[in-house]
Structure 1
C-alpha cells in the first residue's frame, strides 16, 4: 500500500496439516532441502550457491491473490490457484513468492484492512490450503513470503471493536485516540471544521491518504481515532508495548507455519508525532480535493527503527534465514541505508529501493539518473544487499510508465535487463514477464478500488494494474471458469499470455527466463562487483560485473534512447583486462556476433550482455 506515487475461515488447523508442516520443516533443516540453499544446476556453479542467505540473490515475485488463478470458479483468485501454478513459477526461475494479504478482511482495501492476523479469508481458502501451498512450494524450492500489515487493522478487527467500545476498555489505548479541539478554538482551520462533531474538530490538519481528514469521530467514546489510510483502517498505537507484542505474536504464528518472511506494508508510518503538529502544506489539492501535505510528522519517524531492530532479532531466532522486506518509499539512498540499520545491518534485510523504479508520475528512461542510483546502491549502503523493483500492485505498470508507443517491447526488455543483471535482489510483479499492460477503467461505475471512486476522474484507482493473470487464449485468459471475473481480463489476452509466449523463442517471457537463468547460474552475475563504465554518456547505461573465482567478467550495455548509439568501452576501471567479448544475450540481431568492446552500435533501446574473453 502506498499513497506516494498514485497518486471460509478455519480458526485452527487440523492434525493432518500440522503434521505436514512438521514434515516439510524437517526437510528444510535436514540434508534433503536446506533452507537458504538452492538446487545445484551443475558442479561448476556449486560454489556460487553457498555464498550467503537465499534472499541475497533471489528473484522475488509478487502475487496479488485475487488475480493470479481462480481454482473454484467464483471469479476470484485463491491459494489453491497459486499452488496449481507453482510449476510455472519454477520454470520462470522464481525463488520466493510474496502474496498480498490473504487474511480475513472486509475487503475495503482488498485485504490491506485485516480483521484477523491468524487465519485465511474464506474467499482465498483455509489454513490447510496455506499449509499445502507452503509445503508444495518447498518441494519446488519456492518460498512463501506473506504481506504483513502492521500500521493499521480493519475497523472490524476485534481489537478495534473493543478499543472503540469504551475509554476504559483495556484495548482502548491500542489505537491512536484524541479528544480533538474546540471548533471555535485558536488556529482551527476551515478544513478541520468540515469534520467537526459535538463542538469539537480533529486536533490537526492531517489528511488521510485516501481522502478526507485522517481523524474519524466515534460517538461511543466521544473521541477521534487516527487513520493514515481509509477510515476503515484505524492506526495501531505502536507506543503501547502491548501492540508490539500482539503483532509480533501474529508474525510468530506464520513463522511457525513455515513462511520465509514478510513484506512489511507501509512500514515507515508506524509512528506519528506525539505533539500532533500540523503537517506543512505542499501546495495544491489532491484528487479527493484535500490539501497536499508533506508527511514529516506521520511517516519515517525515528521511533520506528527500534521496532524494526526488535523485529529483526525476533525473526533471526528462526532457522533458515527468514527475511524482512520493507515497503519503503524514501527520499534518497541515505534514508534507505537507515532502514538496513546502516553499518550495523540490524534492521531490514531488504528495504525496497523505490528510487530507481518509481520516481513520479512521468517516469522516463534516463541513463544518467539510473547510473547515479544504481551506483549509490552499490557504494552507499554499507555493503547491504539492494532490492530493486519496477512494478507492484499500487502503481501503473512499468510497461505503460516507461513506454514510448513505438519501442515498448524493447523498453520492457531493457528494464528487465537492469533488474536482473544488477547486483541486487530482484522483485517482479505477476505478469511483468509477459508485458501485461495497465487496463484502467473508462467508466466510474466499473471502478472497484475505492480511491478511484472518490478521486474520479483525476484519480482512477489501482484496478488497472490488478487485472487477472493472462495464462492462455481460452475463456478469461485461463484465469477462471466463472462467467465474470472480479476485474475484467484485458482485451489483449489472446496474444499476450503465458502459453503463446512460451512457444515463441524471442518472447518477452523467454527473455526473462534467459536473464534469470544466467543470473542464477553465472557466478559473476551473482556476486561480481558492479562498476559503471562510460560514466559521462547521457544515452547509454553500461557497467561491468567483475569476474568471480576465475570466471570471466560480464559487460552490460543498454541504449536508453530511440536513436542508435555507438560506444567503445574500457573495462580497465573495474580491473578487467581484454577487449574481446562474446555475446551472451541481446535483443539486437546485429549484435549477436559482437567480438569487441570497440565501436559497438546499439540500436534504439537495445540491450546487450557480453562476456569478456579474459580477465585478471
Structure 2
C-alpha cells in the first residue's frame, strides 16, 4: 500500500543515529506500516512494567485526550467510534501514552456533543456498544494504558428521565433534583436573578407547565442538578462506582467548580471597563463576574466524597482529575484538599493558557506550581476540546519551533502532562469560515465574535489520503478535514525524524527514561533573563539536566552557573535540541536559534 513510503523511510533511517532509527522503526510498527504491531507493543509493555515503582501510576504520567467523534471512524458513518480508538492503541503505546481521557461517550441528544447526558450507565450507539467499550478497556490494559472517563456532574440533558420527571409537576419526587425557582413576577420574562449562561444569555429557562424557571449554567438543554439534594449525590456516586467496576481507572470531572450556587440567589456583579462603563461580552450580553455560581466552598465537600469512593478501591489508584479554571495558585492548592483528600490532579490552566510567550509569566507560574501546592504534582494542560489549539501561540513564521517550545515545557517540567489528540503532529485550529457550516451551538450563538469550538475538534489526520484516513474515501466526515492534513499527518511525520511527531516521542521517552526529568526537582535558572526560559531538573545521585527555551524570533546566547545547586561542571551531553542547531562546547555558551530548545545532561 505504501511502496514509496517504505523506500524513502528506510533510506532516511540509514542516515540517522541508531537511537533515531529505532524510534522511527517503532513508530512504523505502531502505525501498522511494517506489520506485527502487537509483538512490538507487548515487548514494550513488559519493559515498562519491569521499571514501575510503588507510586501511583498517574504520577508523571502522559494523559492523552481523545475526542471520540474525531479520532477514527470504523463504520463509515463520518463519526469516530470506540473501535477506532482500539484500532490505534499500538500507536498510542509507542508514542508513550499512559492513559486516555475519553470525552463523553454516554447516550446523549448531542446538543453539546455528549456533555448533555441522558443515561450515565450506557454507551451512545453512534460510538458503539458496551461490548466495544469493554474490548477497548481490555486491549488498553494489555498495553498498560488506562482509560479515564469524563464524568459530567453539574448537569444532565433535558431528555434525561430524571429531568423529564422533575419538570412533570411541582410535586414529583424528582422535582428537587434540579434547580427550580419562581421568577421575580409571574410568567415568562422575569427570571429569578441576573445569572448568565456560560454559552450566552440568561441562565434561567421558563417552564410554562409549572410556572417556574430552571437554572442552566450552560445550554438551555443542560439543566443543573441540585447538589444540595442527598439523592443526587447518591445517584452520582453510584455512577462513579459503575464505571470503576467496569475497569475505568479515573475520571475527569467536567465543570466541577460549578456544582453550587449562592443560596441567597444574589445577583452577579457587573464587570466594568477602565472608565466605569459596563462591559459587553461576545454574546452581546452585559459582562458579569460569576462569583455567585462558581467555585463556592461547598464544592470541596463533594470532592471529598468522590475521593472516598475512588479510594475505597484499594490498590486501583483511581485518579480524580478536575476541570479547574481558577484565578490563582492559592485556589488551585485548595483543590487538592487540606489533607490531600480531594482531587488527585486539578488541571493547572494558569501555565498553558497564558496565551502569550512571556518568559517572566511562564517562569512565575511554573515556579508557583512547583513550590506553592504543598509538594503535590501539577497537571499542566495547553489545549483541549474547548479551546483553540497550541497554534494560538504561533507567529505565522516559526510555528513549528514554537510548538517544540510548548511541548518541551509540558514534558520536561515536573508534572503530570495532559495533551490533546493531534498535538503530536502539529494539528492546528481550523475554524469554520461560514456561519452555516458551524456545528457547535456556541459558534451559532456567538458568531462572528465567537466561532465556536469546531476548529479544535476536526478529525485526526492519519495520512495524506482521502479524508486523512479518518473515515472512508466516499464518506462525509462530521467536520471538514483541514487542508493542513497533507503535511501534518502521522504517515508523513513518522518518516521524518525532524517532525513534530518524533519530537513528541523523543521528549516522552526522555521523560520516562531519564531519572532527573522523571522525578527530579524543578529549579528555575537565569531568572532575570526575559528572552530565554531555563530550568534545571535535579534528582539525588543522578546527573542533572538543564533545559533552555528561546521565547524570541532572534538567536539567543545563554550561560549557566549551577554552583548554587552544587554543580561545578560546565560540560553537558546533548539529549535533545532544535533540528539544525549545534551542540554547545560549554554551558558557559549555549546558542539557541529563534524559538530554539536545548536539553543537556550535565557531565
Q: Same fold (TM over 0.5)?
A: yes
- Are positions 1:347 and 2:346 aligned together? no
2:482 to 478, 485, 490: 490
Match of 1:452 in 2: 443
Match of 1:602 in 2: 592
How many Å separate the matches in 2 of 1:145 and 1:41? 20
Match of 1:13 in 2: none
Question: Alignment partner of 2:150: what SS?
Answer: strand
Cα deviation for residue 42 of structure 1 reads: 9.8
- Are positions 1:410 and 2:401 aligned together? yes
Deviation digits for residues 91-117 of structure 1 (CA, Å, limit 9, x no counterpart): 100000000001000000000000000
Deviation digits for residues 226-245 of structure 1 (CA, Å, limit 9, x no counterpart): 00000000000000011000
Deviation digits for residues 186-206 of structure 1 (CA, Å, limit 9, x no counterpart): xxxxxxxxxx52xx6111101
2:321 to 322, 325, 329: 325
Match of 1:190 in 2: none
How many Å separate the matches in 2 of 1:590 and 1:261? 41
- Are positions 1:64 and 2:67 aligned together? yes
How many Å separate the matches in 2 of 1:174 and 1:72? 38
How many Å separate the matches in 1 of 2:581 and 2:119? 57
Check conservation: 1:582, 1:595, Cα contact below 8 A: no
Check conservation: 1:386, 1:425, Cα contact below 8 A: yes
Cα deviation for residue 437 of structure 1 reads: 0.8
How many Å separate the matches in 2 of 1:288 and 1:387? 31
Check conservation: 1:147, 1:264, Cα contact below 8 A: yes
Instruction: Output the aligned Cα RMSD.
Output: 1.4
How many Å separate the matches in 2 of 1:573 and 1:96? 37
Deviation digits for residues 555-590 of structure 1 (CA, Å, limit 9, x no counterpart): 001111111111111122333331111100001533
How many Å separate the matches in 2 of 1:577 and 1:348? 40
How many Å separate the matches in 2 of 1:42 and 1:553? 25
Cα deviation for residue 39 of structure 1 reads: 4.7
After TM superposition, the runs of 4+ consecutive aligned structure 1 residues lying more than 4 A away are none
Deviation digits for residues 256-277 of structure 1 (CA, Å, limit 9, x no counterpart): 0010110000000000000110
Deviation digits for residues 434-488 of structure 1 (CA, Å, limit 9, x no counterpart): 1101111000000000110111111110000000000001110000015200000
Match of 2:10 in 1: none
1:308 to 300, 303, 309: 303
1:182 to 180, 185, 190: 185
Deviation digits for residues 150-171 of structure 1 (CA, Å, limit 9, x no counterpart): 0000000000000000111110
Match of 2:269 in 1: 280
How many Å separate the matches in 2 of 1:38 and 1:577? 38
> 1:130-529 to 2 correspondence within 5 Å?
130-182=133-185, 197=188, 201-282=190-271, 283-318=278-313, 319-342=315-338, 344-359=339-354, 363-399=355-391, 401-481=392-472, 482-529=474-521
Cα deviation for residue 309 of structure 1 reads: 0.6
How many Å separate the matches in 1 of 2:244 and 2:550? 44
1:93 to 96, 118, 123: 96
Structure 1 stretches of 5 or more lacking a match? 1-36, 184-195
How many Å separate the matches in 2 of 1:134 and 1:590? 42
Q: What TM-score results when the alignment is normalised by the length of structure 1?
A: 0.88
Check conservation: 1:208, 1:214, Cα contact below 8 A: yes
How many residue pairs get aligned? The number is 552
Cα deviation for residue 55 of structure 1 reads: 0.4
Cα deviation for residue 595 of structure 1 reads: 3.8
Deviation digits for residues 380-414 of structure 1 (CA, Å, limit 9, x no counterpart): 00011100010100111111x10001110100000
Match of 1:129 in 2: 132
Check conservation: 1:544, 1:574, Cα contact below 8 A: no
Question: Alignment partner of 2:120: what SS?
Answer: coil
Question: Alignment partner of 1:334: what SS?
Answer: helix
Check conservation: 2:45, 2:143, Cα contact below 8 A: no
Cα deviation for residue 285 of structure 1 reads: 1.6
How many Å separate the matches in 1 of 2:237 and 2:413? 34
How many Å separate the matches in 2 of 1:590 and 1:68? 34
- Are positions 1:109 and 2:112 aligned together? yes
Question: Alignment partner of 1:292: what SS?
Answer: coil
Q: What TM-score results when the alignment is normalised by the length of structure 2?
A: 0.90
Check conservation: 2:428, 2:456, Cα contact below 8 A: yes
How many Å separate the matches in 2 of 1:335 and 1:277? 22
Check conservation: 1:547, 1:554, Cα contact below 8 A: no
Check conservation: 2:61, 2:417, Cα contact below 8 A: yes
How many Å separate the matches in 1 of 2:340 and 2:568? 34
Question: Alignment partner of 1:239: what SS?
Answer: coil
Cα deviation for residue 41 of structure 1 reads: 4.8
How many Å separate the matches in 2 of 1:522 and 1:148? 34
Cα deviation for residue 547 of structure 1 reads: 2.9
Check conservation: 2:266, 2:292, Cα contact below 8 A: yes
User: Structure 1 residues 408-417 or 313-322, which shifts more?
Assistant: 313-322
Match of 2:7 in 1: none
